[in-house]
Chain A
Amino acid sequence: MELVDIFVRSVFIDNMVFAYFLGMCSYLAVSKDVKTAFGLGIAVCFVLAVTAPVNYLIDKYLLGPGALSWAGAWAEDVDLSFLTLIIFIAVIAAIVQLLEMVIEKISMPLYQALGIFLPLIAVNCAILGGSLFMQERHFPTVAHSFVYALGSGIGWLLAIVAFAAIRERLHYSNIPKPLQGNGIAYIITGLMGLGFMCFLGI
């Protein structure tokens, strides 16, 4: 039950794009049509769901205050949390590289669909943001962090696909000249965010 709760929360209420503005750069850049948006969305989901649990384990057993206590009594007071940022980003970059190689080996169609997006993802703030928010929330088990990451990824996917669909329609509408392009994109995202705020009560 708790897991379902985390999932719904991370998809709708704490939506990556609308509540925290994470991954905005690629959100604005890769939303010209629904198909590519969907591809990137799936890739983000995938990487988030892999990196967040790994980072959770690293944080719990290597970096946090007293995390090294399994190694013996001498390590009880060791606190490596100042290394968090560097380790997290290194893990993300490494996992993205690894995933790219694995996908290329096992599934060519998937590689061709996701391939161009994967390198972009290492520097997508949604991924690092996912890990950092997960760390801030102090989930009790790996399962919680996995569900949280998956939910966040799906929330991001939902947002970018919906936005791309709206953008496709925009071609036919008559927008004031100075507002065309990015200006209207921001305003639409803002309005979508207002819409998503109706989930706040759940």
Chain B
Amino acid sequence: MKKYLGPLNRENPILVQVLGVCSALAVTAQLKPAVVMALSVTVVCALSNLIISLIRNTIPPRVRIIVQLLVVSFFVVMVDMFLQAYVYDVSKMLSVFVGLIITNCIVMGRLEAFALSHKPLPSLMDGLMNGLGYGLVLVVVGSLRELLGRGTLWNIRIMPQALYEAGYLDNGLMILPPMALILIGSLIWIFNRKPKNAR
């Protein structure tokens, strides 16, 4: 069990391996889209890992990238339709970034590095854990940005009204794209400070 927990901590896909950053930043202005995105990536990653692992012995190595892309995009289309049907507002907010899960390097990276050479069940676990590790960072960044930028979490007001009356203002910069990068940079900083991770 322990070997699967790496992606949550010391092999975190975003903080350590620097994979799948593209979408991680764009969807984290609020908590809700961040959570939906995290779940979508987890589902796509786990299931495509499973499928690729099941057919790994029949894929000719020369065309494996195309096969992987097709399997992944199949699941992404499913997820996209699911989101449009059940959480339409979030799906509007995520716009093209659901489609971009296809080219998310976490998914492709895990397929290449793990699913092609391992049995189905471990691959499923690996995909799941990497998706969750990715989701963890998304949720942290998403809640920080929403809390500081709008004073809300999941669209519920957290910052008390008294604070605003005392002159507190929302930090509008947090909502803007560059702040996501700076926040993740700071997260990496904090993460690397832990002595056991020190280089």
A residues with CB within 8 A of B: 18-25, 28-29, 82, 84-86, 88-90, 93, 119, 122-125, 127-129, 132-133, 136, 176-179, 182-187, 189-194, 197
Contact = CB atoms under 8 A, between A and B. Distances in A.
A89 B73 contact: yes
Nearest to A176: B189
Contacts of A184: 185
Contacts of A82: 77, 81
B183 to A, nearest CB: 8
Interface stretch (B52-60, B121-129, B150-158, B191-199): B191-199
28 contacts: A20-B26, A21-B24, A23-B22, A24-B21, A25-B18, A25-B22, A25-B105, A28-B18, A28-B21, A85-B73, A86-B70, A86-B73, A89-B70, A90-B66, A93-B69, A125-B104, A127-B103, A132-B99, A133-B96, A178-B188, A183-B188, A186-B184, A187-B182, A187-B185, A190-B180, A191-B178, A191-B182, A194-B178
A187 to B, nearest CB: 4
A89 B177 contact: no
Contact of A129 (B81, B96, B179, B181): B96
Given A85-B102, A86-B70, A18 B188 contact: no
Given A90-B69, A133-B96, A18 B18 contact: no
A145 B192 CA distance: 43
B18 A178 contact: no
A128 B99 contact: yes
A123 B65 contact: yes
A93 B103 CA distance: 11
Interface string B6-31: 00000000000011111111100000
Interface string B95-126: 11001101111001000000000000000000
B178 A93 contact: no
Contact of A18 (B20, B81, B177, B199): B177
Given A20-B26, A21-B180, A125-B103, 12 more contacts: A20-B177, A25-B22, A93-B69, A123-B105, A129-B22, A129-B103, A132-B100, A183-B192, A186-B184, A186-B188, A187-B181, A187-B182
B198 A178 contact: yes
Interface in B59-93: 65-66, 69-70, 73-74, 76-77, 80-81
B178 A18 contact: yes
B186 interface: yes
Given A125-B104, A187-B185, A21 B25 contact: yes
